Amino acid sequence: MDHTIANVRPATDIGETRQELIHARHLPGGIYSSPAIYEEELQRYFYRDWLYMGRVEQFANPGDYEARRVLGRPIIITRDKDGVLGAFYNMCRHRGVEVAEGKGNARVFKCPYHGWTYDLSGKLVGAAYMKDSDGFDPKTCRLPRINLEVWRGNIFISFAAEPPPFAESMAEFEKDFAQLATEKCRLADVTRLELNCNWKFMHENLMDFYHVGVLHVKSFGARFSWTTDNVRLKDNGGITIRYDAAPSTPGGEALFGKAPWLDAQPNSFACTGFMPPNMTLFGRIDCVKIMVGWPIGPDKCEVFIYMLFPEPFFADPEFDRKLKVYKDYQAIIYEEDRSMIESMQRAMALPVYEPGRMSVMEKPIHHFLNGYLDRMFGPRG
């Protein structure tokens, strides 16, 4: 069945997800499998909002850069010679060839096709045989800029010509998660996963505490406690959740101790925040994880997991060994989740799939999906 933005209801109307939670049903499969829906999501969400891109310490020195493809668009993030972070499209202004690849440190970016050269702020500084081209002014030629802002050591970009005010976009996160002091943390690891599922499933799974005591009962489920009263619903589908959970190690111990600024908190301190469209933050007594889901098709997504620890922890002579304990333990949990969300995705395109009723334990998912429907189909009612 061909689902479009106007006709995505093969088994049930999206209005059933609009109902109060005790009456609500999950969304129809077309929302997770339709190419038309996917393209609309890019336009209405990803090309408009602020998107998490990493940490300032990944670009510690002038000339540090990273070239990536984000939502199919080639970009460069770099720190210029004056120490200013910037982002621009990785497309030569001559024929569109990418002028940088990978990551490293550079003095300039040079197009490998015709040699046009750009400085670290994206300005054209060399273009052979162009002085005789009538009206061509190299001083006005530069790689197109992309909006870039920083919140507490975390880098965000927006592709929008006029993005939402950044301070307003981060206001709820600032209020709810300033205590994690991510500006005093440092990136310890970046894990990349590719999942055969729609990007929304990745985030729904992270806010789905209903499954923790079942799927994760042998990993961390027994050291996890929450109630729906702990959920704070934000505008646009955003969510903050406070709960109790052990540190993310096999024995539930904080191997480095508590973060200095959380010393008054119990070992079970835990929080989660979702910022639309695609960032989920996890805070624990000893670390912060930021998980970002990038759609690469209706049924596939790329996930980056940034693991942050307080700066003082890095002086521990056993840091690498302890970090491996955290990474290995998290890999077990990721694979438990992968099996479930990829199984859900396989059902979405089947004509026999009919969305089930929601549980009261799915309050965060219900809110996220209704925020999503507001953006995609207009406000409810």
174 three-class SS: helix
Q: Where are the alpha helices (DSSP H) in 111-258?
A: 166-169, 171-177, 199-207, 212-215
- Residue 226 has a pLDDT of 64
- Residue 334 has a pLDDT of 85
Is-contact 92 99, C-beta < 8 A? yes
- Residue 208 has a pLDDT of 85
Stated as kind and residue range, the H or E segment containing 188 is: strand 185-195
- Residue 224 has a pLDDT of 56
- Residue 222 has a pLDDT of 53
Is-contact 65 86, C-beta < 8 A? no
Contacts of 98 (CB under 8 A, 6+ apart): 67, 74, 90, 91, 92
Q: What is the average pLDDT across 44-63?
A: 97
- Residue 163 has a pLDDT of 96
Please determine, for residue 9, whether its predicted confidence score (pLDDT) is greater than 80.
Answer: no
Q: pTM for the full model?
A: 0.93
- Residue 216 has a pLDDT of 56
Cβ–Cβ contacts within 10 Å for residue 7, how many?
A: 12
* Opening angle at CA 92, ends 99 and 75, nearest 5: 60
Is-contact 193 303, C-beta < 8 A? yes
Residues in the chain: 381
pLDDT digits (tens, 9 = 90+) for 133-149: 999 998 899 999 999 99
Task: Decide which of 24 and 222 is more confident.
Answer: 24
Which residues sit opposite 279 in a β-bridge? 275, 292
pLDDT digits (tens, 9 = 90+) for 271-321: 999 999 999 999 999 999 999 999 999 999 999 999 999 999 999 999 999
- Residue 1 has a pLDDT of 38
Q: CA 380, CA 237: separation in Å to the nearest integer?
A: 13
DSSP 245-297: E--SSTT---TT---GGGTTS-TTEEEEEEETTTEEEEEESS-EEEEEEEEEE
Percent of the chain with pLDDT over 90: 79
- Position 180, amino acid: L
Q: Which domains does the chain have, with CATH numbers?
A: 15-39+171-377 (3.90.380.10), 51-163 (2.102.10.10)
pLDDT digits (tens, 9 = 90+) for 185-219: 999 999 999 999 999 999 998 888 776 655 654 55
Is-contact 337 205, C-beta < 8 A? yes
Q: What is the average pLDDT across 339-367?
A: 92
Q: CA 75, CA 134: separation in Å to the nearest integer?
A: 30
- Residue 191 has a pLDDT of 96
- Residue 213 has a pLDDT of 55
Per the structure block, which two tokens stand in for 147? 């909006």
Percent of the chain with pLDDT over 70: 92
